[in-house]
C-alpha cells in the first residue's frame, strides 16, 4: 500500500455540517460517541475525495486506496492517518470490522463522473452503500435496531442537495422525503436519537433548503427531537 493520502482542510460548508453533526453525536451514549464521530469523519473523508478531484481516474485511485486501507484494519495496525487510527481505536472494538465499512467506497464510486447520467440505479447504490452501511455501523455501536433504511434515505437527501440539475435533484429529493417519513415514523430510544436526528436534519434540509447547516432553527429542531423523539 502506498503512503496515506493527506487529509485536506474541509471547506467552510463541510465544517458547518460537521459542527451540526457533532451536536447529534452528543445525544448518543458517552461510550459510543467517539466511534459515532469517527464514522462520520470517514464519510466526510470519502466525500472530500469527490469534491476535490476533477479527474475520475484519480478519484478512483484514491477511493481504491481507502477500500484497501479499511479492509486491512482487520489484520494490520492502522496506518498514520487520523481517520483510520480513530476507526481502529473506537469503532473496531465495538464489533464493526473494517471489511464492514469498505463497501461505503462503492457508494462514492457510483458518483464518479464517467460521462454517463446519474440514473436511478447509481442513486440507489449510493444510498445503500454509503448511507445504509454508515448507519448500520453506527447503529451497531449504539446497540441494535435496523438503521439501513434511514441511512439510505439520509444519503439520498444529502445527494439531492448537492446536484446542480434541478430536475434530478427534485426527483431524488421527493424520493428521499418519502423514505425519510417511513424510516422516522418509529419513535427511537433516547440513546439512539443522535442517529435518528441526522435523518431529521436531512428532512429539514429538503423541506427548508434556505436553512443551511448551522441555522439556529435546524439546531432547535434537532434539540426537540433529542428531547421528545419526534
Query: Looking at residue 209, what is its pLDDT?
Result: 93
Q: What is d(CA 201, CA 224) in angstroms, rounded to the nearest whole number? A: 11
Q: Is the pLDDT of residue 43 over 70?
A: yes
36 in Cβ contact with 10 (< 8 Å)? no
pLDDT band at 144 (very low <50, low <70, confident <90, very high): confident
- pTM, entire model: 0.93
Higher per-residue confidence, 198 vs 54: 198
Query: Looking at residue 1, what is its pLDDT?
Result: 45
Closest CA to 225 of 14, 1, 12, 27: 27
pLDDT band at 52 (very low <50, low <70, confident <90, very high): confident
Q: Would you call 211 helix, strand, or coil by DSSP?
A: coil
Amino acid at each position: 500500500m502506498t503512503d496515506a493520502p493527506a487529509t485536506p482542510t474541509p471547506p467552510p460548508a463541510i465544517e458547518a455540517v460537521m459542527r451540526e453533526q457533532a451536536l447529534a453525536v452528543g445525544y448518543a451514549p458517552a461510550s459510543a460517541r467517539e466511534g459515532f464521530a469517527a464514522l462520520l469523519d470517514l464519510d466526510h473523508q470519502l466525500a472530500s475525495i469527490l469534491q476535490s478531484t476533477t479527474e475520475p481516474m484519480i478519484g478512483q485511485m484514491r477511493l481504491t486506496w481507502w477500500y484497501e486501507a479499511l479492509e486491512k484494519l482487520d489484520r494490520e495496525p492502522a496506518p498514520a492517518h487520523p481517520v483510520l487510527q480513530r476507526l481502529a481505536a473506537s469503532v473496531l472494538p465495538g464489533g464493526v470490522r473494517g471489511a464492514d465499512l469498505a463497501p461505503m467506497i462503492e457508494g462514492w464510486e457510483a458518483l464518479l463522473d464517467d460521462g454517463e447520467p446519474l440514473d436511478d440505479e447509481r442513486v440507489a447504490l449510493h444510498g445503500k452503500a454509503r448511507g445504509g452501511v454508515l448507519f448500520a455501523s453506527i447503529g451497531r455501536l449504539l446497540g441494535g435496531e435496523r438503521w439501513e433504511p434511514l441511512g439510505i434515505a439520509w444519503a439520498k437527501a444529502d445527494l439531492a442537495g448537492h446536484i446542480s440539475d434541478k430536475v434530478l435533484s427534485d426527483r431524488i429529493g421527493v424520493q428521499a422525503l418519502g423514505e425519510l417519513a417511513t424510516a422516522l415514523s418509529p419513535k427511537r430510544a433516547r440513546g439512539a436519537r443522535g442517529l435518528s436526528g441526522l435523518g431529521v436534519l436531512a428532512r429539514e434540509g429538503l423541506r427548508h433548503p434556505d436553512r443551511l447547516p448551522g441555522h439556529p432553527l435546524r439546531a432547535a429542531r434537532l434539540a426537540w427531537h433529542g428531547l421528545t423523539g419526534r
